[in-house]
Amino acid sequence: MVGVSGAAAPARPVEIDFAGVEKRFPTPEGVVHAVAKTDIQVRQQEFVVLLGPSGCGKTTILRMIAGLLQPSSGTIAVAGRDLWQGSRRDSQALAELGIVFQDANLFPWYSIERNVAMPLELRGVSHRERMERARALCDLVGIKGFEKRWPRELSGGMRQRAAIARALSYDPEILLMDEPFGALDAMTRDTMNLEIQRLWMIQKSTIVFVTHSIAEAVFLADRIILLSPRPGRIRSVTEVTFPRPRDMVVQTQPEFQDIVRHLRGELEDME
């Protein structure tokens, strides 16, 4: 297929290893089988996008990688360490993770800088050091000058930038992003997509990014994992090899549109 390379990805070490993972939720109405037995390997510094219909288990997979949910079966290793020892979580493995959710989830009663520095505050970093770091991060994500403002004084896009700054505050090796730009208008979303690519290239982190948007997936990803409807299982894996940094013009290339069309076809076939 055009624009999709058969070449093997560079052999970086595996950062997230999801082996035979399955998730069932017991509920009063019966068991919800959210994620079918799945194997996913994400390599260091890879940008992987999970794409799939609503309810197919994307958030569940992300929450399991984050150690917020325990799989019903299978194992998850992060940076070579098992996330779970029986029903106990490995706190060391979790130290590598930063998470950004669909809505920014800022504390409304704290300033932007305090929000951004919150993970450092929780880790006991001194006031002076965390305020310095918060200012540098606000600059990095493009909200310089808004450090002292309240979340309600910022636009949705700026709040999302603050949430990204917060997730970056302790230099996590892995960023998990659950539809972080889903609530933004199309133009702001384009800007944020460029921004996240830029940050990822600077920080050299590993990203697992969930989206509903096919174009966003193709723009951002090294690899797109398309999931089937519930119980989620891997339907296809698409490597995207456009050179980086990509700009929005890449979306007008026939190869880009071919991949979008192909993925849309696969999604429609599942309906």
Chain contacts with ligand ATP (rule: CB under 6 A): 25, 27, 32, 34, 52, 54-60, 230
Smallest distance from ligand ATP to CB 120, Å: 29
Task: Give which of 158, 155, 161, 154 is closest to 177, Cα–Cα.
Answer: 161
Q: Which does 193 bind (CB under 5 to 8 A by kind): Mg ion, ligand ATP, none?
A: none
CA dihedral for 143, 123, 42, 265, sign (positive or negative): negative
Classify burial at 63, counting beta carbons within 10 Å of its beta carbon; exposed 0-12, middle 13-18, buried 19 or more.
Answer: middle
Residue 250 interacts with, from Mg ion, ligand ATP, none (CB under 5-8 Å by kind) = none
- Strand segments, DSSP code E, in 101-214 are 174-178, 206-211
Q: Which does 235 bind (CB under 5 to 8 A by kind): ligand ATP, Mg ion, none?
A: none
Contacting positions for Mg ion (CB under 5 A)? 59
By CB atoms closer than 10 A (0-12, 13-18, 19+), residue 106 is buried
**What are phi and psi for residue 109, nearest 5 degrees?**
-95, 5
Query: Which CB, 59 or 193, lies closer to ligand ATP?
Result: 59
Closest to Mg ion by CB, 54 vs 252, is 54
Min. distance of Cβ 57 from Mg ion in angstroms? 8
What is the closest distance, in whole angstroms, from the C-beta atom of residue 126 to ligand ATP in the complex? 38
Binder of residue 125, out of ligand ATP, Mg ion, none (CB less than 5 to 8 A by kind): none
Joined together, the tokens standing for residue 65 give 């990688």
Q: Which residue's beta carbon is nearest to the bound Mg ion?
A: 59
